[in-house]
Structures are given as structure tokens and as C-alpha cells.
Chains A and B, each alone.
Chain A
């Protein structure tokens, strides 16, 4: 049982670090921002999830301490990674004129239009 837990924890640590490395390699190597966005948002999130599972198993079965912190970190990271990716891609579209020209015209792009203000905001 103890050996099984040790093998499982070591495997999760190695899997997690491997996927963290894959994400960072994608960030360093891919050619433009939209393609670079894939590495950190997918591979790195998977890697950090595996690391946190390893830590949860280790503290629950080897140390005998069961905590909810790892679940909190996992939940937080898995919720915030897509939001960060969306904001970064919006900022990239806003800043890059070539990408703006290649966008389809029919859809309204909230990133590119002026913000509409409520009437009482003008009076102030």
C-alpha cells in the first residue's frame, strides 16, 4: 500500500512537471501570440492539476493530513485560466491591426466598438 502510494505520487509529480515544461516550451517556441496562447492555457493547467493531485495524495496518505487547500487551488486555477486567455486574446485583437482586418465583418466585435454609456453617465 505504501509503495503503491509512493509510485502514484512520484508518477503524478513527473507527469505534472512534464506538462508544465510542455506548456512553457510552447510559449517559447510557437510563432505568434494566438498560437502561443495554447501552450500555457491547456498544457500548463493540466500539469498544475497533476501536481496538486500528487500533493493531495501525499498529504492524505503519507502524512495523514487531509486538507482542502489543494482542491481550492485546483478549482481557482481551472476557473481563471480560460478567463485570462480570453482577456489576452481580446487585448491582442485590439492592438493588432492585421488581425482586425482579417476578422469577419458581420459579427459585432465588442472589443473594437466604443463602449455605450448609460444616459446618466453623460450628464455627470
Chain B
């Protein structure tokens, strides 16, 4: 049952990744693209956690944690750059 649920969830999360890719390409402003990247990171974390459940390995959580940190830092740095023209003043 869990494997079936994981298969359905992989399809749904891949569809939502495609939606974020659409916003990343079509977004009229730069902030839309930053937001799309942030959502894409969250979707990727969901996919990684799902892979961890399917393969039964705990190692995937390290990757998910690293992904979360890098995604947060990159989107905040990008917004800071848009606001001030500089990341570290």
C-alpha cells in the first residue's frame, strides 16, 4: 500500500515541479522567479523524502536537510541582492 501511495505521490509531485518550472520560465518579474525557485526546492525535498521511504534508507534525510538550508540561503541572498544591490554590505 505504501509503495502504491509513493508511486501516486511521485507523479503528483513531478506535476507540481512542472508547474514551478512554468512559473520560472514565464514569470514576468524577477521576484516571481525567486519564488518559483523556492517552491521548486520544497518540492524537491518532498521528492527526496519520498525516495527515502521507497528505498528505506536514512541517508536521504541528510540530502533533504542540506537542500532546505541551501534553498533558504539562496533565496534570501537573492532577495537581499534585489533590495540593496549587494549581498553582504
Cα A33 to Cα B31 in complex, Å, equals 7
B residues within 8 A CB of A20?
12-13, 16, 42-43, 46
* Secondary structure of the B contact surface, majority rule: helix
**CB of B15 within 8 Å of the partner chain:** yes
Cα A65 to Cα B65 in complex, Å, equals 18
* Contact across chains for B20 and A36 when beta carbons are under 8 A apart: no
- Interface flags for A44-79 (1: CB within 8 Å of B; 0: not) read 110110011011001100110101011011001100
Cα A76 to Cα B45 in complex, Å, equals 12
* Contact across chains for B1 and A7 when beta carbons are under 8 A apart: yes
* Contact across chains for B80 and A87 when beta carbons are under 8 A apart: yes
- Interface flags for B55-70 (1: CB within 8 Å of A; 0: not) read 0101001101100110
* Contact across chains for A40 and B39 when beta carbons are under 8 A apart: yes
* Contact across chains for A87 and B76 when beta carbons are under 8 A apart: yes
Interface size class of chain B, counting residues whose CB lies under 8 Å from the partner chain: 35 or more
- Interface flags for A73-90 (1: CB within 8 Å of B; 0: not) read 100110010011001101
* Contact across chains for A24 and B39 when beta carbons are under 8 A apart: yes
B residues within 8 A CB of A91?
30-31, 34, 79, 82-83
Cα A84 to Cα B68 in complex, Å, equals 12
B residues within 8 A CB of A63?
56
Cα A119 to Cα B76 in complex, Å, equals 28
A14 touches which one: B5, B53, B62, B75 (CB < 8 A)? Answer: B5
* Contact across chains for A17 and B45 when beta carbons are under 8 A apart: no
- Interface flags for A1-37 (1: CB within 8 Å of B; 0: not) read 0000011011101101110110111011000010011
Interfacial residues, chain A to chain B (CB-CB below 8 A): 6-7, 9-11, 13-14, 16-18, 20-21, 23-25, 27-28, 33, 36-37, 39-40, 44-45, 47-48, 51-52, 54-55, 58-59, 62-63, 65, 67, 69-70, 72-73, 76-77, 80, 83-84, 87-88, 90-92, 94-96, 111, 115
